[in-house]
């Protein structure tokens, strides 16, 4: 009977060890996923800043083109009637 009790305790310990191992592996996997997501967020933030900067440059370029073009200039009707 003593061997049966020892076997039961050993089996219980083995089950607990397997559960702990499974949980540790799950935590490690979640940590890696979090690291990957964090890196992706950083990359997206960097890309966003780059695109904002490019948009500002393009906006200024378009504004300069519009101000230099006679198509977008305001017309003075009084001076044309003379």
Task: Give the number of other CB atoms < 10 A from CB of residue 74.
Answer: 5
Q: What is the pLDDT along the chain (82 residues), one digit of tens a residue?
A: 577 778 888 899 999 999 999 999 999 999 999 999 999 999 999 999 999 999 999 999 999 998 888 877 766 555 555 4
73: phi then psi, degrees, rounded to nearest 5: -80, 150
Return the pLDDT at 82: 47
- Give CA 73 to chain center in angstroms: 43
Return the pLDDT at 78: 56
Return the pLDDT at 7: 81
- Polymer length of the chain: 82
């Amino acid at each position: 009977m003593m061997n049966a009790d020892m076997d039961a305790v050993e089996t219980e310990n083995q089950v607990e060890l397997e559960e702990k191992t499974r949980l540790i592996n799950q935590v490690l996997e979640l940590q890696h996923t979090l690291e990957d997501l964090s890196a992706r967020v950083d990359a997206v933030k960097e890309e966003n800043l780059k695109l904002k900067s490019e948009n500002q440059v393009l906006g200024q370029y378009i504004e300069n083109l519009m101000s230099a073009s006679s198509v977008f200039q305001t017309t003075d009707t009084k001076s044309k009637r003379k």
